[in-house]
């Protein structure tokens, strides 16, 4: 039974994402779930060979790239993304059984979570004191331990701790979606499906004027759709960046392959994070190469009129 680490403790959205991956058949059978206390330590378990894979959140439609995950992927030996799944992120307000909304004087929450339900809290619990918890699951544990009356948490955490649901589907932004990825040590890239995502990191941009513009030109001239462009400081001073780029397509799509090779030659230091099937169709696939390749072969052979 493969061991799969996840950003825990038990009851986090990440565990729910792992469960969703299991149901979708990402693994051949059941897996052993191994919680880890941070995105970085989750991925480190993969690098150390303690687990065969790890599930971490990578991008939120509200907050953007999940920085600790991005940083952990970009640092250390190369890891590879092989699958993804998406969760609608809506919170569940939990309390001990018997407690009503009107009774709530204090509410525990992970800061990222309370930020996403601020308007709901202002409307329904304007006078409750907000207490900082270490994670969504920890907020529920705080309620179970009597440290707060209620928690901004997940349904899964409520079930595990036997808490009551005061409200569910709570989110200030509709359609708040978080994408989670399954990460392994480098392995053969999953087959091209026609609806794929490729991800790479420009660890170090070549130090020439217009270098970044040329990176984008490598994609634009080949008709490749960039679906994610994020920068993070490279931690060597203000003003230098690491760029995280996702594009539509697979390393076995000719256009993507040629763009990757061009970046390898000229852009600086490039980290390939993988090509894998998308959870939902995104963007425009790269242009087919077939007609142009057939034309080229005819030219090489001297077929007459073209």
33-62 positions binding a second copy, by CB under 8 A: 59-62
9-28 positions binding a second copy, by CB under 8 A: none
Q: Report the largest interatomic distance among the alpha carbons of the chain, rounded to a whole angstrom.
A: 85
Nearer to a second copy among residue 82 and residue 166 (C-beta): 82
Shortest spacing between CB 97 and a second copy, in angstroms: 27
Nearer to a second copy among residue 22 and residue 71 (C-beta): 71
Backbone dihedral angles phi then psi of residue 2, each to the nearest 5 degrees: -65, 145
Q: Is 226 in the site for a second copy (CB under 8 A)?
A: yes
Q: Take residue 192 and report the two structure tokens written for it.
A: 């091209």
Quote the CA–CA distance of 207 and 108 in Å, as a whole number: 47
Nearer to a second copy among residue 80 and residue 153 (C-beta): 80
64-83 positions binding a second copy, by CB under 8 A: 64, 67, 77-78, 80
Q: Is 119 in the site for a second copy (CB under 8 A)?
A: no
Quote the CA–CA distance of 180 and 84 in Å, as a whole number: 6
Quote the CA–CA distance of 218 and 221 in Å, as a whole number: 6
Q: Is 283 in the site for a second copy (CB under 8 A)?
A: yes
Q: Out of 20, 33, 63, 204, name the contact with a second copy by CB under 8 A.
A: 63
Quote the CA–CA distance of 299 and 306 in Å, as a whole number: 8
137-176 positions binding a second copy, by CB under 8 A: 173, 175
* Number of C-beta neighbours around residue 74 at 10 A: 18
Shortest spacing between CB 142 and a second copy, in angstroms: 11
Segment lying near a second copy (by CB under 8 A), choices 10-18, 48-56, 157-165, 225-233: 225-233
* Number of C-beta neighbours around residue 231 at 10 A: 14
User: Rg of the chain over CA atoms, in angstroms?
Assistant: 23
Nearer to a second copy among residue 145 and residue 216 (C-beta): 216
Nearer to a second copy among residue 160 and residue 173 (C-beta): 173
Q: Is 120 in the site for a second copy (CB under 8 A)?
A: no
Shortest spacing between CB 213 and a second copy, in angstroms: 4
Shortest spacing between CB 98 and a second copy, in angstroms: 28
Q: What is the dihedral of CA 154, 72, 200, 59, to 10 degrees?
A: 20
Q: Is 128 in the site for a second copy (CB under 8 A)?
A: no
183-212 positions binding a second copy, by CB under 8 A: 185-189, 209-210, 212
Return the closest-CA partner of residue 64 out of 147, 178, 172: 178
Handedness of CA 74, 81, 21, 64 (dihedral sign): positive
The number of residues in the chain equals: 306
């Amino acid at each position: 039974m493969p061991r799969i680490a996840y950003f825990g403790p038990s009851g986090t959205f990440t565990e729910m994402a792992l469960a969703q991956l299991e149901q979708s058949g990402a693994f051949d059978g059941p897996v052993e779930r191994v919680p880890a206390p941070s995105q970085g330590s989750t991925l480190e378990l993969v690098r150390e060979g303690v687990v065969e894979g790890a599930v971490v959140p990578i991008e939120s439609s509200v907050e953007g790239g999940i920085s600790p995950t991005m940083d952990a992927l970009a640092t250390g030996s190369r890891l590879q993304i092989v699958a993804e799944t998406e969760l609608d992120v809506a919170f569940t307000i939990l309390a001990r059984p018997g407690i009503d909304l009107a009774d709530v004087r204090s509410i525990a929450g992970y800061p990222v979570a309370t930020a996403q339900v601020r308007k709901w809290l202002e409307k329904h619990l304007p006078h409750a004191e907000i207490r900082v918890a270490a994670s969504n699951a920890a907020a529920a544990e705080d309620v179970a331990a009597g440290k707060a009356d209620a928690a901004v948490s997940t349904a899964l955490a409520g079930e595990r701790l036997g808490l009551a649901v005061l409200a569910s589907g709570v989110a200030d932004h509709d359609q708040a979606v978080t994408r989670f990825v399954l990460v392994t040590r480098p392995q053969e890239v999953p087959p091209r499906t026609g609806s794929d995502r490729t991800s790479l990191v420009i660890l170090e941009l070549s130090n020439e004027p217009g270098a970044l513009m040329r990176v984008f030109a490598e994609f634009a001239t080949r008709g490749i759709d960039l679906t994610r462009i994020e920068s993070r400081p490279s931690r060597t001073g203000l003003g230098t960046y690491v760029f995280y780029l996702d594009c539509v397509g697979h390393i076995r799509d000719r256009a993507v392959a040629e763009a990757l090779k061009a970046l390898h030659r000229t852009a600086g230091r490039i980290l390939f994070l993988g090509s894998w099937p998308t959870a939902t169709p995104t963007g425009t696939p790269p242009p087919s190469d077939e007609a142009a390749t057939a034309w080229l072969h005819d030219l090489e052979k001297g077929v007459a009129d073209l």
